[in-house]
Amino acid sequence: MNRPSWHEYFMMLAKLVSVRSTCNSRKIGAVIVRNNRILATGYNGAVHGAPHCSDRGPDFCLRRSVGAHDAEKYNYCMSSHAEANAINQAARFGIPLENATLYCTLEPCNWCFKQLIQAGIKEIYYESPYDSKNAEFDSFWRQVMTTHKQIKTFKQISISEAAREMIIQNLLGDSTRKLLATNPSARSKLKQDVLATFFEESQS
């Protein structure tokens, strides 16, 4: 592998976006693209002006601290989901999302899915399945998502080990030159045969 596929590229970007998350329960990242061009990004975290759970320590969760169970979690959670934040970012800056594609590190919940439909998203790719405590509920909404006529693609994808290794090496490294610099004073006649072969191979 000389570089990741487009799917891997955007999913890795979504994972990178997730490091900005201020939720201690899940770190979620989302990237919205069209024609392989980034339109918006989002991560889950407290809404503007609200305190972040991560600022109160790695184990703090507001809704858990007040004793709210999973069925009530959205009633006591100050966070906005990654997908919603990506949609909101696009809205704030006047970026239309019609026929766009979402890459998210987690399968969208039912609420976010409805927002994605309304925003005009046509393709959804996710890395990990959504796993609430209600398997019947998850199954119902997964069926809705996979059969909705507006969604052309609803698919779980993964990042290959080769792509993961590539990004780890890049993160640990830097952008210094990997090949020796050429010396202008030692310039010789261009090798036209090499140029011709290069383009011939590129077109084959």
Among all residues, which ones are annotated catalytic?
83
Count other Cβ atoms within 10 Å, centred on residue 45: 22
What residues does 43 pair with on adjacent strands? 29
Query: CA distances (Å), 113 to each of 88, 174, 186, 201, in order?
Result: 14, 38, 60, 44
Work out the angle at residue 147's Cα, subtended by the Cα atoms of residues 120 and 39, and round it to the nearest 5 degrees.
25
Going edge to edge, which strands form the sheet with 123-128? 37-43, 29-34, 101-106, 123-128, 153-156
- Look-up of token digits 């399968």: 107
Count other Cβ atoms within 10 Å, centred on residue 71: 11
Q: Output phi, psi for 124, to 5 deg.
A: -130, 125
Q: Residues 45, 28: contact at Cβ < 8 Å? A: no
